[in-house]
A and B are shown apart, each in its own frame.
Chain A
Amino acid sequence: MSSLLTRVRQKQIGQLIDAGKRLDGRGLTDYREFTIEEGLIERAEGSAKIRLGKTEVLVGVKVETGEPFPDTPNDGVLTVNAELVPLASPNFEPGPPDENSVELARIVDRGIRESKAVSSDKLVIEAGKKVFVVFVDIYVLNHDGNLIDASALAAVAALTNTKMPNYEIEDGEVKIKTGFSPLPLKSHPITVTIARINDKLVVDPGLEEEQVLDARISMAIKDDGNICAIQKGCSGFFTPQQILEASKIAQEKAAELRKKLDW
């Protein structure tokens, strides 16, 4: 999963965190600085690139027409896929998606899906027959920790600038016209990841911190402060008290990020 960290470095991270400090000078609940650039892939219907510390994630959205799932004839289709591109880290390898990229994609997917961010009923062209299929593809370009939050933020940012092709129905055939209208977005979920290191809770873990953490928890927070998805990860544990504390921290951080992003 990770490149080896020397024992000295591991100890240093632990001791700093015990003292309420971190390698890069942040406090335990500080987020790294981040910037989001939107719409830089012209060929894609929507795109965004985030830089969170040195982590870089590019998300492209493609919109196509297709058939709805048989059990949801009145909903469009949203799929999220993640690629841990080999150029982004010495530990990423080419090949089919491994469990890490599947988990990453499914966490981001759940945040968007459960918050009902995309009004899936507005993606329907003809109920049961033709709908818009929205492909959200996460491309990790440099791994410096906390891919979950970076990918989730970039995915929502890409959806905010996604344009839907205009269409008309002529003799029962769908014709794509020129011009676009914006993708209807109802909410902007924000995912906050918190790590447990030396029994302390640490927000937005960096790459080296990820290599010493016991466990992490990611919470997707909706605009109104309600929780819409959670995922605990890694082979450690949280006490129930820590989970409730993490939930409070996630609320606060999400509100702070929301203000910054103006979402």
Chain B
Amino acid sequence: MSEKPEKLIDKKGIRLDGRKADELRPIKLEVGVIPNADGSAYVEHGKNKILVGVYGPREMHPKHLSQSDRMVLRCRYHMAPFSVQERKSPAPSRREVELSKVIKESLEPSVFTDLYPRSGIDVFIEVLQADGGTRCASITAASLAIADAGIPLRDLVVACAAGKIDDTVVLDLYDAEDKLGVADVPVALMPNLNAVTLLQMDGILTPGEFENALNMAIEGCKKIYAMQKEALRAKYMTVKEEAEE
């Protein structure tokens, strides 16, 4: 670990990686990247590199977990051993168990689960490289992968974090800001429904700062939402062209 820098944001409001307070990292989204999967997506969000594969709707295994009135959505968030500085054991940590749960709960409200009773859908998220904000980038990619699998959705789910470094509320913290900063507030949103489907926070914020962070994260989500739609369009325009040939 490098020494702690004195300031995470300078007098001009520029952060250590050169961004302004309300600026996102560069984001690249790609849909349909795993041939075997029913739906898949890949995201690069700053240095985060995350791959998501979706299988289903298909028969549930084990069968007793199926529900007679709806589809069951399962989700596994997993970090590759080489994705972080110190090798991470591939066995699921408590953090990964919790994140799998909150990511599942952030995606579920977007899916018309009652259309596929007795079946299941599995969302597998593999973090290949982590640099802060992996849960948010995972949700953004997972929602695209579910859409790519052709499952009817109420809206795409998009996620982005805001937080506080030094005395400033900022958008989209990367690893160093997350570790050395004051607070981190990941938010997932269905923009067209004005519905927040994931909200967590750690660190210390006054109620006013929390409100600012929440609003800033929502604005960030809306920007990524436009990129998400573009990524879907990019794949299905080529599919359309192939079909016309």
Interface range on chain B (Cβ under 8 Å from partner): 20 to 34
- B-side residues, CB < 8 A to A, are 1, 94-95, 97-98, 100-102, 104-105, 108-109, 185, 190, 193-207, 210-211, 214-215, 218
A250 closest partner in B (C-beta): B207
In chain A, positions 223-263 with a C-beta closer than 8 Å to chain B are 225-240, 243-244, 247-248, 251
- A-side residues, CB < 8 A to B, are 71, 99-100, 102-103, 105-106, 110, 113-115, 217, 222, 225-240, 243-244, 247-248, 251
Q: Are B196 and A114 in contact (CB under 8 A)?
A: no
Which 7 residue pairs across A and B have the least CB separation, nearest first? A237-B195, A230-B201, A235-B108, A232-B199, A99-B101, A102-B97, A237-B197
Consensus secondary structure, chain A interface: mixed
Q: Are A227 and B214 in contact (CB under 8 A)?
A: no
Q: Are B204 and A247 in contact (CB under 8 A)?
A: no
Task: For B108, list chain A residues within 8 Å (CB).
Answer: 235
| Residue contacts A-B, CB under 8 angstroms, 15 given | A100-B101, A102-B98, A106-B98, A227-B210, A229-B201, A229-B202, A230-B200, A232-B105, A232-B200, A235-B104, A236-B197, A238-B195, A239-B194, A239-B195, A240-B215
B94 closest partner in A (C-beta): A102
Q: Are B207 and A248 in contact (CB under 8 A)?
A: yes
Q: A103-B101, A235-B105, A243-B214 known; A222 and B196 CB under 8 Å?
A: no
A103, A222, A244, A251: which contacts B204 (Cβ < 8 A)? A222
Q: Are A227 and B193 in contact (CB under 8 A)?
A: no
Task: For B95, list chain A residues within 8 Å (CB).
Answer: 106
Task: For B215, list chain A residues within 8 Å (CB).
Answer: 240
